[in-house]
Amino acid sequence: MKKFSIVIPVYNESCCISNLLIEIENSLKDLYDYEIIIVNDSSTDNTLEILEKLKTQYKLIILTNKKNLGQSHSILKGVNKSIFETIVTMDGDGQNNPNDIPTLVDKYFSTNCDLVSGIRKIRQDSFVKIFSSKIANFVRSKYLNDDCKDTGCALKVFNRKTFLYFPFFNGIHRFLPALFKGYGKEVIFLDVDHRIRKGGKSKYGTLNRLFKGLKDMFYVKKIIKNKLI
């Protein structure tokens, strides 16, 4: 049976998390051996309270950051806690469709690749967010030669050991295709669904993320060039 750990960072997702867990269970059923690790990134709503109530029902592993650290740190925390060597990451806001998990997982195991990265086929975001993302993806892809059209898609399946080998930095989750390819690992891209956010709000400022992304891009190039460890 295929085994993997699902790592989900969450921040103020009280409106979405219960339904997401139901969808995950329905999508995976008894076909896989998996664990769900949810990293509560110091939510200020009742996300943690809801998770504690659902902990037994879904056999959740709940980790909590004492302060808001962001998506990369939360993913790292979840990966370090995982018991399986295959990691699945996804957003906690419900925009990633759990029905895509089996497709990505099956492709990962059938090809023995190191990363299967989702590409959101039809983005369900604002025009400004989509437009700025396309520009950022184009620049990044050309500069890092990672062949990835959508590095911002959180739905990914990858090798735990390889991920932990990379030098960690805040923002690493957006550069996994470039890092895996830069280290000579096989990367596969698959189209996935992207859904309208049903509640809450986006946690990222477009302009701030753009400038930080440029800075991170240069750092990733340095990592790949020098194979920093």
Q: Tell me, what's the pLDDT at 172?
A: 96
Q: Tell me, what's the pLDDT at 200?
A: 54
Helices 47-58 and 17-28, packing angle to 10 deg: 20
**Ranges under pLDDT 50 in the chain:** 229
For residue 143, what are the CA distances in angstroms to 19, 33, 178? 39, 38, 10
Q: Token digits for 112?
A: 């023995």
> Contact, 8 vs 39, CB < 8 A?
yes
Q: Tell me, what's the pLDDT at 66?
A: 95
CA–CA gap between residue 11 and residue 71 (Å, rounded)? 9
What 8-state DSSP symbol labels residue 112? T
Neighbours of 95 (CB within 10 A): 23
| Cβ within 8 Å of residue 72, ≥6 positions away | 168, 169, 170, 171, 172, 173
Architecture of the domain whose range is 3-226: Alpha-Beta Complex (3.90)
Q: Tell me, what's the pLDDT at 185?
A: 96
The ranges assigned to domains in the chain are 3-226
Radius of gyration of the chain, Cα coordinates, nearest whole angstrom:
17
> By C-alpha distance, which of 181, 175, 179 is closest to 228?
179
pLDDT tens by residue, 68-108 = 999 999 999 999 999 999 999 999 999 999 999 999 999 99
pTM: 0.91
